Amino acid sequence: MAPRDPEKTARNRFINGLTAQLKDLLPDVLAETGLTSEYSLNGLYGGKHADYIDIKNEVITSPDHFVVLYLEGFKKKAEASGSAASHPQNLELLRRSPKLQEYLFLFLKRTYLRNIEALSKKRPIVEEAAVWIGQNNADYGLLITPRFNRRTSQWVNDKSEIRHFAPLYWSIGHVLETGFVIPGRKERMLFKSVDEYLNFFLNVVVRNSGSSYEYELAKIYRDYALSSQEPHRVPLLIPEFRYEGLSASHRYRIDFTIIDPYELTKIGFELSPWSTHGYLSKVKGLTQVEINKMAKDNFEREMKKHKDFFRKHGVFVLIYTDTDLADLTIVFDDMKRYLEPKSRGIQLRFHIIQDILGRRT
């Protein structure tokens, strides 16, 4: 059994502490405000965050940020022309009651911490919420909230549900949740386990590329993922990334791509052995000038490809030549830097705070 996540354990302990404080405060709040019950209190204040905050689009970085957004939205709602009378009245009551303020701030902080994964995660824009991989007629799509559009016979994302997606975006847990979709058909490739997905990844998608270097790197990745304490949270090593999507006339694919599940930045890995990326054939009878021009054109074409990756699609690509490919463990060491992303700094490190302060909340 995988060990418990110390961050989640400490966070839950902190949340329980907030709940205890709310319970102790409640009688004083009801007495000071004249409200009759916890139910009515939460109906007027605690349950209103979705009315006051743009939950669908805001990336909320901390409990205090959540409180500020709530108060800003509350004030705008109360001051808006045509606002229901209850909003100004509720805001005035909050201003007059210190106990209610204390209670509401604790309540909102607890709400944020209970939903921190969804509220703090950076969400991809619609255009980047689908990844297509593989070669023509052997391609697959990875979407976040896949829905088949019968009218267009294409897979699309249910945009309203992207925020609620539980697994880390573009992780092994992601593909286990959604599977791969088949372009133009209401069919999916679903996987019951990490092993089943990794077997498909290695022996179907990567093997189909015909590159021995890609296959060996995929084997190293498979072993790495299987040995991880939390394989579901390991970012995908995305093979044959079609950076122009489903377009049949796309010019290039990136051998491997990793998308950071927190910041959503993309890093590509292109394996460029001389035999396939630099070798000049049919040079018999050509002059040295003509050979040099062929080599220059070949080089320019290769570099343009990588500049396009970055300029058009924000994918920075690391290029590995024969010297690098002589030891694939070194190449994979580079990949590991991106397969072990640090959780976003905005998420509080409760276990560290508690260790420093020497207390258990």
The token pair at 278 is 């630099």
pLDDT of residue 30: 96
SS3 state of residue 189: strand
Give every CB contact of residue 40 below 8 A, 6+ residues apart in sequence: none
pLDDT of residue 356: 43
Of the chain, the percentage scoring pLDDT greater than 70 comes to: 76
- Please report the beta strands in 145-280, taking only residues with DSSP state E, as ranges in sequence order: 146-149, 154-157, 180-181, 188-189, 238-241, 254-259, 266-271
Mean pLDDT throughout 195-201?
96
Give the least confident one: 124-133, 189-198, 261-270, 275-284.
275-284
Closest to 99 measured CA to CA, from 44, 26, 39? 26
Closest to 221 measured CA to CA, from 235, 211, 242? 235
- Examine the pLDDT at 252 and tell me if it is beyond 70: no
Counting every residue written for the chain, the total comes to 361
Tell me the per-residue pLDDT of 328-349, one tens digit each, with 9 for 90 and over: 999 999 999 999 876 544 444 5
Tell me the per-residue pLDDT of 225-247, one tens digit each, with 9 for 90 and over: 999 988 999 999 999 887 666 65
Mean pLDDT throughout 101-114?
93
Tell me the per-residue pLDDT of 277-298, one tens digit each, with 9 for 90 and over: 544 566 566 676 665 666 666 6
**Sole residue written with tokens 């979705």:** 50
Tell me the per-residue pLDDT of 304-318, one tens digit each, with 9 for 90 and over: 666 666 556 667 888
Question: 170 with 142: CB under 8 angstroms?
Answer: yes
The token pair at 165 is 């997606």
- Examine the pLDDT at 268 and tell me if it is beyond 60: yes
